């Protein structure tokens, strides 16, 4: 289990206990109010004592909540911990993640970690749910959506990429069509997969 997952589970357990105590306070108050409204005076003193006891228990449970979250999120996001745990969570859902130049690619989405916002940018959307298992679930859901394939743009991009790879003198070779390994197209072609790719990536695909 990842470090963030463990911290979140521990905090959730603490909050669950506080919630139970809080519900006990509300329940004790409701019972006592019901006795007051109909005049069951024999139950009032006992009910008030129960309320006082439950409130004391709630105060004890809430006493450490202010310091219950000390996780260094900024360091986690910027020093590789988040990416490693996201890759693990994604793999469990059958997803593949690739990192290049600070970007995370999960077809057909491009992700970028924004430590200042404590979020992940998915395409143009800022996603603040960064729990690895939850984010992997969101990515898996997005991957299942039907994709709009832009055929004309894709073919035009392949042609421009081929022109850039073979060089400016391709017409003067006199040796017929020039072949280029498919792997050479992989990085330049990726901007078509997601409209959220930054302009710099688009520039890399047009040979300028």
Structure tokens that stand for 58 in this block: 């709630």
Q: How far apart are the C-alpha atoms of 38 and 50, rounded to whole Å? A: 19
Q: Residue 197's pLDDT is what?
A: 43
The pLDDT tens digits for 4-55 are 889 999 999 999 999 999 999 999 999 999 999 999 999 999 999 999 999 9
Q: Residue 123's pLDDT is what?
A: 85
Structure tokens that stand for 141 in this block: 């859901």
Half-sphere exposure of 24 (CA within 13 A, CB side): 17
Same domain, 77 and 137: yes
201 has pLDDT over 80: no
Q: Given 128, 144, 160, which residue is the final one in a domain?
A: 144
Nearest to 105, CA basis, from 22, 199, 192: 192
Same domain, 123 and 82: yes
User: Which residues form the domain of 50?
Assistant: 3-67
Q: What is the mean predicted confidence (pLDDT) over 136-159?
A: 78
In the structure, what pLDDT confidence band is assigned to residue 148 with cuts at 50, 70 and 90?
A: low
Same domain, 77 and 140: yes
Q: Given 144, 160, 193, which residue is the final one in a domain?
A: 144
Same domain, 63 and 78: no
Q: Residue 98's pLDDT is what?
A: 85
The percentage of residues in the chain with a pLDDT greater than 70, rounded to a whole number, is 76
Same domain, 59 and 7: yes
The percentage of residues in the chain with a pLDDT greater than 90, rounded to a whole number, is 44
Structure tokens that stand for 52 in this block: 């006082």
Same domain, 85 and 59: no
In the structure, what pLDDT confidence band is assigned to residue 199 with cuts at 50, 70 and 90?
A: very low
198 has pLDDT over 50: no
Task: List Cα–Cα distances, 178 to 157, 168, 184, 188, 205, in angstroms.
Answer: 17, 12, 13, 18, 19
The pLDDT tens digits for 64-108 are 888 889 899 989 998 888 989 999 999 999 998 888 777 888 878
Same domain, 46 and 9: yes
Same domain, 16 and 41: yes
Q: Residue 206's pLDDT is what?
A: 43
Contact 61, 21 (CB under 8 A): yes
Q: Residue 193's pLDDT is what?
A: 45
Q: How many domains does the chain have?
A: 3
Same domain, 97 and 125: yes
Same domain, 133 and 156: no
Q: Residue 151's pLDDT is what?
A: 65
Residue 98 β-bridge partners = 105
Same domain, 139 and 173: no
In the structure, what pLDDT confidence band is assigned to residue 159 with cuts at 50, 70 and 90?
A: confident
Q: Residue 175's pLDDT is what?
A: 55
Q: Given 144, 170, 191, which residue is the final one in a domain?
A: 144
Same domain, 23 and 84: no
The pLDDT tens digits for 118-135 are 999 988 899 999 999 999
Q: Residue 208's pLDDT is what?
A: 41
């Amino acid at each position: 289990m990842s470090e963030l997952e463990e911290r979140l589970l521990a905090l959730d357990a603490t909050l669950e206990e506080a919630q139970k105590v809080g519900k006990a306070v509300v329940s004790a108050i409701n019972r006592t109010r019901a006795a007051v409204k109909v005049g069951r005076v024999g139950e009032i003193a006992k009910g008030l004592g129960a309320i006082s006891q439950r409130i004391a228990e709630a105060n004890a449970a809430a006493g450490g909540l202010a310091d219950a979250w000390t996780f260094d999120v900024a360091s986690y996001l910027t020093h590789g911990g988040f990416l490693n745990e996201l890759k693990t969570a994604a793999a469990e859902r059958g997803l593949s993640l690739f990192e290049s130049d600070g970007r995370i690619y999960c077809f057909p989405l491009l992700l970028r970690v924004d430590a200042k916002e404590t979020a992940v940018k998915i395409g143009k959307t800022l996603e603040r749910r960064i729990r690895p298992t939850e984010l992997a679930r969101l990515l898996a859901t997005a991957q299942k959506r039907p994709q709009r394939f832009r055929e004309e743009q894709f073919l035009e991009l392949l042609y421009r990429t081929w022109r850039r790879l073979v060089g400016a003198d391709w017409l003067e070779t006199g040796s017929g069509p020039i072949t280029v390994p498919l792997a050479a197209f992989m990085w330049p072609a990726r901007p078509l997969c997601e409209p959220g790719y930054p302009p710099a990536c688009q520039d890399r695909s047009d040979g300028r």
